[in-house]
Amino acid sequence: ACSRATILDYLMQLRDETGMTLIFITHDIGLAYYVSDTVYIMEHGKFVERGSADQVILRPKEAYTKRLISDVPKIYEEWDLSTV
């Protein structure tokens, strides 16, 4: 059985060795940053932002992109679990 990471590593290796282009559609912002050179952000089926992974993920310009990124859990944040 192949894991998700194994498949992604294989696709990235194949991309690097052959120079082929991959179109990777995901809702996982961290994964998009990891596997992509260029990122497109869609809202309601329309592109609202595009650029290099660094530009879009680390320095977003559009409000929708900023909201998406702010919703990604950060491993270094403390969580208040008293209400759980």
Could you give the angle at the alpha carbon of 52 between the alpha carbons of 47 and 55, nearest 5°?
A: 90
Phi, psi of 59 (to 5 degrees): -140, 60
Report the predicted TM-score, pTM, of the whole model to 2 decimal places.
0.74
Q: Note down pLDDT in tens along the chain; length 84 residues.
A: 578 889 889 999 999 999 999 899 999 998 899 889 999 999 999 999 999 999 999 999 999 999 999 887 776 656 667 776
The span from the CA of 81 to the CA of 27, in Å, is 26
The span from the CA of 38 to the CA of 53, in Å, is 5
Q: Which residues pair with 43 in a beta bridge?
A: 46
HSE-up of 48 (CA within 13 Å, CB side)? 14
